Structure formats: C-alpha cells, structure tokens
C-alpha cells in the first residue's frame, strides 16, 4: 500500500490484545495502562512514563507542569505540527518561533540564541525542540543553552521513537530517555512508528513531574495521602484515610487513555525492533534510488551521530529550477496511486500567529518548506514499492 504517505500496521495479535481487554473488567484507566507505561519507560530508558489521550494532550500537560501562562513565553521551531506551538497558547503563554536548518528542518543552537537575544529572557519559561522526521536536533548544545538561561527543555519526539544518537562522551542514548531534557513527548497516531489508535506519552526522570502529570490528566484529582492538605476531611476518627476521599489542588483535564488503546500499544511495542529495522531498510533503499536522480532532488540531509528510525521520508526538490509546481506534482503522483504530503507549512505563517505577532522572516524554515515533500514511508511497503515511487517521482518531474 503506497497510496498514503504513512499507514499503520495492524496484525492479528494486535486485534486479539484489544479483544482480551474488551472481555475484561477494565476498559479505561486500568492495569493495562500501567503496564504500557512501565514497558514504554523501559524501552526508551526513562524513569517514568505517563500515558494520555494524545500527543497534543501530552504537550498541554507539560505546559501546565512547567508553569507556562500569561506573562511568560515559550520557544518552538516553526517547522513542526501545530500542536507543538498551540500547547503553550492553551495556557496563555506567548510563542516565540525559531528558524531551522534549511537542509534538515531542525532547530540549531544558533537559532535558539537568536531568539534569546531578541527577547526578554527572564520571561521565557520553556523550550520545545522537535526531532523532525526522526532525526535528532543538536540536543546537547541546545540543552546547555537552556540550562544556562533557566528554561525548561521539552523534546517533541513524536517523529523519533526508536531513534538513537551518540553523545559528546560517545554514549549511545535513546530518544525519550530525557538525558538532557526535563520531558519527552510521544504520539501514537496511526501514522507513527507504533500506534494506539490515538494516544500520547510523557517521559521524565523527575518523580514530582510524573506525579503531577498523572494528576492533571485526570481532572487534577489527587489520592496520595502524603499530598492531602485538608486533614480534617481526609481522615476518619481512627486516623485512617477515608476510602472515597480525593483532593484537587489545580484543575486538570480528562486526558486519560483507555486500556483498549494501551492494549494495542503494548502489542505494537513488542514489534518496535522489527518496525525500526523495516524503516531503516526502506530508508536505505530510498537513499540508493534517489542517488541516481539529479541533485535537484535529494533526501533531507542526514544528521551526524544519529541513527534515525525515520517517521517520514522527506525529499528536497528544487521545484523552481525544474520549472514545476509542487501541487501539480503531488496531484500527478496521486493519480499514479502515490500519496505525498508537505511537512510542514511554517507555524509562524499561520493567520492566527501572524495576527498575534506580525510577519517574521525565518529564511531557513521558508527555504526548507518551499522544497520539502514527504514520500510514502511505512512498514507496509516493500523495496519494490520504494523503487516504483522514485521512478514515478522522476517521471512527474520529467527528469
């Protein structure tokens, strides 16, 4: 299947895992959610994992935990999905957008420094970095800058489950381990590496953050006696906790995820290594096939010291020099049974943000956007599919 740029792989054992939950006593917020969280934390090497209803919900929860709100600002690269920026707006904080590399779409250390120099650093609460397409940004350099300025660092890893990278001291680190950040965020939308149908995950190595996230995803309810403030109503005359009692110190949301979703997630997580190897094989095949085309068509530049489990396979096409319109090329490919997409239109150019902050010039991001096109890339594809896609791209571009 190559008619879409991304697609889930659902097998019989996935279906049976869901059926098992449907036959059980728990459908939501039960033991399978906790099992999925523990397995996921172990998989990425983090101390804590907190599952929720979507990647957007995960981003919003983290925005609340970091104290984003009116009078504060958050930073994010402009090349990302809308949710990366919108999560801070949900809390009333302002958004500051950084430029990115025109060759990778990734935020760089200098991009962050440029924003810090142009704004009041004292009011900047948090920084969201995006491991776009599955490749890691300059996380160590960026983390150092964030720490020096007292800024929370959140890794948007929604594209990068299974990616590893080599640190400056030659350690191999997994995306999601939060080695240099306060939080990592994942999405399990169907086009991602593994899916829960809809769902998200927060990982962190801070137990207080984890406790707060679990509370905020469930209306802000607290059932831990150590955190109770109203001792009169929390305890009975014998000094034991009333079994019905809970407190809310801050209002939260219903961002819970169901056991049904997490049963699928657990089943998919067991296949992660296979999915990663398939994606790496498809990536290599694409790289080899595209190397035969003119330099006006090339893969997005590879990041050093990174072993990506790509979520997307984007190419950079010089449509202008080829005298081609991108929309025409996409429609041509669609007629040939090949689905493509553009990831992403720069967020700072969205009407909502232009009305708030005016028109900004971020040339690296714009140059990346003008050329990028995501080709079909998912575990339902074969190498023959890849070769067919590349041949049809060449035909559509009249190469």
Dump the DSSP string for 190-256: TTSSS--SS-EEEEES-HHHHHHHHHHTBTTEE--GGG-S-HHHHB-TTSPBPTT--EESS---B--
Q: Identify the bridge partners of residue 75 per DSSP, sorted by sequence position.
A: 96, 127
Q: Identify the bridge partners of residue 172 per DSSP, sorted by sequence position.
A: 166
Report the helix count and the strand count for the chain, using DSSP H and E.
15, 15
- Domain 12-269: which topology? 3.40.640
Element (H, E) at 187: strand 183-187
| Predicted confidence pLDDT, tens digits, the chain (399 residues) | 677 899 999 999 999 999 999 999 999 889 999 999 999 999 999 999 999 999 999 999 999 999 999 999 999 999 999 999 999 999 999 999 999 999 999 999 999 999 999 999 889 999 999 999 999 999 999 999 999 999 999 999 999 999 999 999 999 999 999 999 999 999 999 999 999 999 999 999 999 999 999 999 999 999 999 899 998 999 998 889 999 999 999 999 999 999 999 999 999 999 999 999 999 999 999 999 999 999 999 999 999 999 999 999 999 999 999 999 999 999 999 999 999 999 999 999 999 999 999 999 999 999 999 999 999 999 999 999 999 999 999 999 999
How many C-beta atoms lie closer than 10 Å to residue 307's C-beta? 16
Write the CATH number of the domain with boundaries 272-396: 3.90.1150.10
239 burial via Cβ count (<10 Å: 0-12, 13-18, 19+) = exposed
User: What's the CA angle centered on 69, arms 65 and 72, to 5 degrees?
Assistant: 110
**Domains of the chain, residue spans:** 12-269, 272-396
pTM of the model: 0.96
8 Å CB contact between 365 and 101: no
């Amino acid at each position: 299947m190559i008619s879409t740029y991304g697609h889930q792989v659902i097998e019989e054992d996935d279906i049976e895992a869901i059926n098992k939950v449907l036959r059980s006593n728990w459908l939501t917020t039960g033991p399978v959610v906790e099992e999925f969280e523990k397995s996921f934390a172990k998989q990425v090497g983090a101390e804590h994992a907190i599952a929720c209803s979507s990647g957007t919900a995960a981003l919003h929860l983290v925005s609340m935990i970091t104290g984003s709100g009116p009078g504060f600002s958050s930073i994010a690269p402009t090349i990302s999905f809308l949710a990366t920026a919108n999560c801070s707006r949900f809390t009333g904080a302002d958004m500051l957008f950084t430029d990115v590399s025109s060759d990778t779409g990734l935020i760089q250390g200098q991009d962050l420094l440029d924003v810090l120099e142009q704004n009041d650093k004292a009011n900047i609460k948090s920084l969201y970095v995006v491991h776009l397409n599955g490749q890691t940004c300059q996380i160590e350099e960026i983390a150092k800058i964030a720490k020096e300025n007292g800024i929370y660092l959140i890794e948007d890893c929604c594209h990068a489950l299974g990616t590893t990278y080599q640190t400056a001291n030659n350690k191999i680190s997994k995306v999601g381990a939060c080695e240099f950040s306060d939080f990592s965020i994942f999405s399990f939308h169907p086009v991602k590496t593994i899916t829960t149908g809809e769902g998200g995950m927060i990982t962190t190595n801070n137990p207080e953050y984890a406790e707060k996230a679990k509370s905020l995803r469930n209306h802000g309810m607290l059932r831990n006696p150590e955190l109770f403030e109203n001792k009169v109503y929390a305890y009975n005359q014998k000094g034991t906790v009333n079994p019905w009692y809970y407190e809310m110190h801050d209002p939260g949301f219903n961002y819970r995820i169901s056991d049904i979703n997490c049963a699928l997630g657990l089943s998919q997580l067991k296949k992660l290594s296979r999915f990663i190897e398939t994606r790496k094989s498809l990536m290599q095949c694409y790289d080899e096939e595209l190397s035969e085309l003119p330099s006006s068509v090339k893969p997005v530049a590879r990041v050093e010291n990174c072993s990506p489990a790509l979520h997307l396979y984007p190419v950079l096409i010089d449509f202008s020099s080829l005298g081609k319109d991108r929309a025409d090329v996409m429609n041509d490919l669609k007629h040939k049974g090949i689905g493509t997409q553009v990831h992403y239109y720069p967020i700072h150019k969205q009407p909502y943000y232009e009305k708030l902050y005016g028109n900004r010039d971020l040339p690296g991001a714009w140059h990346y956007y003008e050329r990028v096109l995501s080709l079909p890339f998912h575990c339902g594809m074969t190498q023959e599919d890849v070769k067919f896609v590349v041949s049809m791209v060449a035909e559509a571009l009249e190469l």
